[in-house]
Homo-oligomer: A and B are copies of this chain.
Amino acid sequence: MPRTPKADDLYPAVAPSGHFNPHLADVEYGALDGLVGYAVRRAQLHIYEDFVRSLQTWNITPPRFSAMTVIAHNPNLKLTELANILGVARSGAVLLVDTLEDMGMVERQPAPKDKRAFRLVLTAKGATTLDEITRAVTAHDARVTAHLSTDERQTLLALLNKLASGPNSAS
């Protein structure tokens, strides 16, 4: 059981705190302007803001959405596997699943052959909600990239994936 219930309030876990302009006129950014890393960070802040605003009705943050999506498409994951996929510590996955279970989205089912482990599955409500929020997230993603052309968006996606997958270019 989680120490404190977190799913009850409707407020998002991250404060919006007004809009952040990533590049002000009259300000010199020096070496920052040439760094892919800083550009990625700027882009992330820009997108994250809109994500939280767009999903606050459901109290869904990016990690929660990722977890639900991964659980939906890879049923019967163990908690440790989920942690590895999401790149968080096991303890972090426990808290994430606690929250999603409190929200009625995910269930821990006993694993058939291993009495230590659980199989993670979406509830019916979780599946329905995931459909809704996937549409909301897709709309949000389209909105924050609306000023890019279709080609530009595709190119950006491909380059980001190539960047993140590192030197081992097999994705």
- Chain B CB within 10 Å — which of A22, A62, A148, A155 has the most? A22
User: What is the number of residues of chain A that contact chain B, defined by CB distance less than 8 Å?
Assistant: 65
Does A150 interact with chain B (Cβ within 8 Å)?
Answer: no
> Quick one: CB contact mask for A124-159 with B, threshold 8 Å, 1 for yes?
000000000010011011001111100011011101
Count this chain's copies in the assembly.
2
Give every chain B residue within 8 A of A162 (Cβ-Cβ). 147-148, 152
Q: Are the C-beta atoms of A87 and B141 separated by less than 8 Å?
A: no
> Quick one: CB contact mask for A151-171 with B, threshold 8 Å, 1 for yes?
011011101111111110101
For the residues of A in contact with B, the DSSP-based class is helix
Q: How distant is A18 from chain B, measured CB to nearest CB, in Å?
A: 9
Known: A36-B156, A37-B51, A156-B160. 16 other contacts (CB 8 A): A23-B165, A24-B84, A27-B70, A27-B85, A30-B134, A31-B69, A31-B134, A32-B70, A35-B141, A36-B47, A37-B140, A42-B164, A145-B163, A147-B167, A152-B162, A156-B163
